[in-house]
Amino acid sequence: MRITSLAFLLLLSISSCKTNNGDDDGPEPVAFDRQAMLANWADNLIAPAYDDLEADLQSLHLSAEAYAATPDAGTLAVLRNDFSKAYRSWQASSPFVLGKAEELRLREQLNTYPTNIDLIEENVSQLNTINLELPSQTVAQGLPALEYLLFGLAEEALQSDDDYRSYILQLTGRMLTLSEAVKADWLATRDAYVQNDGNSATASIDRTVNDYIFHFEKFLRAGKVGIPAGVFSDDPLADRAEGLFAGYSKALFSASLNSSEQFFNGGLNDYLDALGVERSGELLSQQINDQFADIKAAANSLNDNFSTQVVTDNTAMLQLYDELQKQVVFLKVDMLQALSINVDYVDADGD
């Protein structure tokens, strides 16, 4: 996924947030090509994320078909590998629940965890009557449900039971269909998205930045780390870790974190610099990038499976959460104030 620098797109009159000559007239106006930033997001971040997701889900569905036809160790290994690729691809698409993705509740459909094993087993027993479009079925489909089937069940059960393999095909086919609908809608609405470059709650920048921060706060910080670490409960909840059965929570966390860092440096960094936004005498963009580095350092030594991590050494998970929370303040408070963007979602964290 290519990131195009926006430095050449900046049209600056003065790149400082400070007042002129000590006057009280406020900062000098700064011209910034907001539409160019939106085009960069659309063409170099969002579209490639949707492209990769669709391609990887297509490969996953084909591998599921191959496994259903010939259930052996070789086809299962390919299916598991394609699952891993698709789950990582999803991390780059997850922040961008816009348009059709929001309408279809793509995030809930593809990545609600922990999955409901009892409901999965019930569905497998009545394949001809289930309706995966029902809200009650959200917890029994998507990537977490598929993960349980591929990694939580014994291989012998998968190979000997046609119903399990049929359910796998239903899950992979539905995920592919959803991703195709989202990508098609994005292609049809891309120009309108780029042209909507105003500064209002319904403008593309405000909506996208809010979705980005909401994802960082609720799904990266809280969902992947805070909830299993017990930040919002009396005790750690090891069974709430993402990637529980496959055991690669850290890989999914890292993929999501890298996507978040990439998006910030796909235009927001330049926008803040154009405005000359500083915090304690240092560019806010640099502080945010330094904090991304601190988060990576805190995650580096963790167990690949966060379920194991919270049992063996939850203090390290709590330290990672603290580093993520520092970034939430940078993004949600300092950055939004500087960009005059209002928060459009409700939270109870008090930041």
pLDDT tens for 218-269 read 999 999 999 999 999 999 999 999 999 999 999 999 999 999 999 999 999 9
pLDDT value, residue 347: 64
Alpha carbon 29 to chain centroid, angstroms: 34
Question: Does the pLDDT value for residue 57 go beyond 60?
Answer: yes
Question: Does the pLDDT value for residue 22 go beyond 90?
Answer: no
Q: How confident is the model at residue 5 (pLDDT cuts 50, 70, 90)?
A: very low
Facing residues of 19 across strands?
A: 27
pLDDT value, residue 257: 98
Mean pLDDT of the chain: 91
Question: Does the pLDDT value for residue 28 go beyond 70?
Answer: no
**CA dist., res. 90 & res. 92, Å (int):** 5
Question: Does the pLDDT value for residue 157 go beyond 70?
Answer: yes
**CA dist., res. 79 & res. 64, Å (int):** 6
pLDDT value, residue 11: 37
Using omega within 30 degrees of 0 as the cis cutoff, is the peptide bond preceding 114 cis?
A: yes
pLDDT value, residue 31: 76
Contact 147, 246 (CB under 8 A): yes
User: Tell me, which fold does domain 198-351 have in CATH?
Assistant: A middle domain of Talin 1 (1.20.1420)
> Collapsing DSSP states into helix, strand and coil, what is residue 32?
strand
Question: Does the pLDDT value for residue 138 go beyond 60?
Answer: yes
Contact 143, 86 (CB under 8 A): yes
**CA dist., res. 64 & res. 50, Å (int):** 21
Task: DSSP letter for 29, please.
Answer: P
**CA dist., res. 253 & res. 343, Å (int):** 24
pLDDT digits (tens, 9 = 90+) for 263-289: 999 999 999 999 999 999 999 999 999
- On the 0-12 / 13-18 / 19+ scale of CB atoms within 10 A, 302 is buried
pLDDT value, residue 21: 34
Note whether 37-193 and 198-351 share their fold.
yes
164-172 average pLDDT score: 97
**CA dist., res. 292 & res. 331, Å (int):** 11
- On the 0-12 / 13-18 / 19+ scale of CB atoms within 10 A, 152 is middle
100-108 average pLDDT score: 96
Mind giving me the DSSP string for 282-309?
A: EEHHHHHHHHHHHHHHHHHTS-SSHHHH
Q: What's the CA angle centered on 164, arms 94 and 59, to 5 degrees?
A: 45
pLDDT value, residue 344: 85
Question: Does the pLDDT value for residue 119 go beyond 80?
Answer: yes
Closest CA to 224 of 324, 82, 97, 117: 324
- Domain range list for the chain: 37-193, 198-351
**CA dist., res. 341 & res. 138, Å (int):** 32
170-198 average pLDDT score: 97
Cα distances from 316 to residues 229, 297, 325, 330, in angstroms, run 9, 11, 14, 22
pLDDT digits (tens, 9 = 90+) for 283-322: 999 999 999 999 999 999 999 999 999 999 999 999 999 9
Cα distances from 123 to residues 43, 115, 139, 163, in angstroms, run 39, 13, 12, 9
Question: Does the pLDDT value for residue 20 go beyond 50?
Answer: no
If you classify domain 37-193 with CATH, what class do you get?
A: mainly alpha
**Which two three-digit tokens encode residue 37?**
């930033």
